[in-house]
Amino acid sequence: MVGENRALVTGITGQDGQHLCELLNAKGYEVFGLIRGQRNARREAFEAEFPFVHLVEADLTDPTSLLAAVRASEADEVYNLGAISHVGYSFRNPQLTADVTAKGVLNLLEAIRSSGRADQVRFYQASTSEMFGGLDYNRPGNGYTEDSLFHPRSPYGVAKLYAHWIARNYRESYGMFVATGILFNHEGERRGLEFVTRKISNSVARIHLGKQQHIVMGTLDPKRDWGYAGDYVEGMWRMLQQDKPGDWVLATGETHSVAEFIELAFKEVGIDNWQQYIKYDERFMRPSEVDLLLGNPERAEKELGWKREVDFPGLVKLMVQHDLGMESASQN
Ligand code: NAP
Ligand code: G4F
């Protein structure tokens, strides 16, 4: 083996998994990635782009496969990024969300214990700002911290809260090195098209190129603390390099509405009258909404020496420019 450290990443085919495997590879890690399904549609493209990753077949809902993955990788660091991660989808698939996003974490922690490697493994759990819920009564003026009250507003948020607490419980009960990263929204060129920022950047590029007429949206009012995914995986890695495990918020400390994102994205292609390109469809509304998320990254900045590099205008620009390039090169 080339690298000294060995990492196992679940959710490696997702946005954060791709950024993280790149970062770990650059740091000399031997990287193992968990891939699910007998014929995963993302496998071929993933293998072409990240040939250095050893793919291990397993599923967060299948304890036997997880034990085999932990044994095969002999990982020192396990990053649990795998999840049903789309909030809207979680309302329509609440039980699946609970099985993967909540119980999957328990399955993975138990696999690590059963493997006999609990003392050697440092574990990262991908917790989320969705656990806070964005309601007025629990929202501190200077942003949510690690100690703020939770009030999840979706099956996804509730599943993630279970995951957060079971991870903390394994730290307290068994002395495992378990870190949780409470991450606010982070986006970029690898974001799935089902999430609002990428849907917007891709649609704006297509409209500019004459491939699409409108963007069909839900509510434009919610505000999010949006950062760049490449910055956030650095924070995940730093959490596992600490002397002691803990819980850290990663955020930018700024919040912007969906409408602001749209406005800036259209500006990037020289369009000011963006409203005429937006259509509304109830399909994209959620039974309960998270109106405003704003994080306070003070602890991470102080203890991890972490700070985001890409600001909000930089993020919008990066995504629109990427999608202009991608859409110009494709026929569809
Ligand atoms: P993502 O792009 O949606 O990726 C999710 C990953 O989970 C995919 O690789 C998917 O694999 C995998 N997965 C789904 N079901 C699985 C199962 N049953 N077994 C194993 N793997 C499974 O998510 P992301 O944006 O990279 O986020 C990474 C993690 O951070 C997630 O846990 C998310 O909830 C959390 N998080 C994200 C944000 C954010 O703003 N991005 C903020 C806070 C927390 P397939 O390719 O097979 O579908
Ligand atoms: O992009 P979104 O789907 O992200 P959301 O719900 O904030 O969740 C993301 O961030 C969480 C961290 O806070 C992660 F834990 C989670 O895994 C995920 O990565 O929606 C953002 C906002 C929402 O208020 C939504 O209602 O955009 C609004 N929106 C309006 N129209 C839309 C649309 N969202 C989507 N996906 N598609 C629309 O057409």
CA 153 to centroid of ligand 1, rounded, Å:
19
Report helix, strand or coil for 7.
Answer: strand
Judge if the beta carbon of residue 85 lies within 6 A of ligand 1: yes
* Residue-by-residue pLDDT tens, the chain, 332 positions: 444 799 999 999 999 999 999 999 999 999 999 999 999 999 999 999 999 999 999 999 999 999 999 999 999 999 999 999 999 999 999 999 999 999 999 999 999 999 999 999 999 999 999 999 999 999 999 999 999 999 999 999 999 999 999 999 999 999 999 999 999 999 999 999 999 999 999 999 999 999 999 999 999 999 999 999 999 999 999 999 999 999 999 999 999 999 999 999 999 999 999 999 999 999 999 999 999 999 999 999 999 999 999 999 999 999 999 999 999 999 88
Distance CA 96, CA 139 (A): 30
State residue 1's pLDDT score.
Answer: 42
Closest-lying ligand 2 atom to the alpha carbon of residue 285: 26
- Rounded to whole angstroms, the Cα distance separating 275 from 320 reads 18
In this prediction the pTM is 0.98
Find, among 271, 267, 259, 262, the residue nearest to 201 by Cα: 262
Q: How far is the CA of 266 from the centre of ligand 1 (A)?
A: 28
pLDDT of residue 4: 78
Distance CA 168, CA 171 (A): 5
Distances in Å between the alpha carbon of 176 and those of 77, 182, 252, 328?
A: 12, 19, 29, 49
Beta bridge partners of 248: 181
- Tell the residue nearest (CA) to atom 29 of ligand 2: 218
Strand pairing report for 54-57 and 122-128? unpaired
Ligand number nearest to the C-alpha of 80: 1
Ligand 1 mean position to 17 CA, how many Å? 8
Q: Whose CA is nearest to atom 34 of ligand 2?
A: 196
Q: What is the pLDDT of residue 2?
A: 45
Quote the ligand 2 centre to 287 CA distance (angstroms): 13
Q: What is the DSSP letter of 301?
A: I
Q: Is 128 in the pocket of ligand 1 (CB under 6 A)?
A: yes
